[in-house]
Amino acid sequence: MAPSEAGAQGTPSLTSGSYRLTLSMAPTGASGISTCAMAIGGPLPPFSAVFVPTSVHVERAGNSATITPDDPSATFRMQLQIAGAALSGTASGQYRSSATPITVTGTSSAAPAVVRGILGSDSASGVLDGTVSVDSMSCTNNGHEWTLTAR
């Protein structure tokens, strides 16, 4: 079933196919400590969020889904477990959004980020608890948001 067919049915679904993943690096989290830094040093410039989209492919097998960028050189992987409309899993690795490098890790660079979310009729969205680095800026917290929409 193509991603657009899931939307026609109106029920939550995540099928194999082509999607757009947008990651929003947040400067603050929903709770707990939030740390932001610039790789070159100095104070972080003010911003509300940085949005970084990329084209991805979803491979669904039973209650598991693996999300990988279309760029074969990207190491980013999001692994999701599906329970009804609830999603949980991990994300880590690197990809590029245009010319901008994006890196996702857990709160410790040795671990993957924790992912939670919910399915819509032709999309999925949620939060990521870990570190997101966009170019020379990085923030570690539980407020990073992600969306997955059919293309």
Domain coordinates in residue numbering, the chain: 3-150
Q: Which amino acid is at 114?
A: V
pLDDT-derived band of residue 137, with 50, 70 and 90 as boundaries?
confident
How many residues are recorded in the chain? 151
Taking alpha carbons only, the member of 90, 97, 88 closest to residue 56 is 97
Mean pLDDT of 76-90: 97
How would you class 40 by CB atoms within 10 Å of its CB: exposed for 0-12, middle for 13-18, buried for 19 or more? exposed
Q: Tell me the per-residue pLDDT of 93-131, one tens digit each, with 9 for 90 and over.
A: 999 988 889 999 998 888 999 999 999 887 899 999 999
pLDDT of residue 2: 40
Fold of the 3-150 domain: Porin (2.40.160)
pLDDT at 43 over 80: no
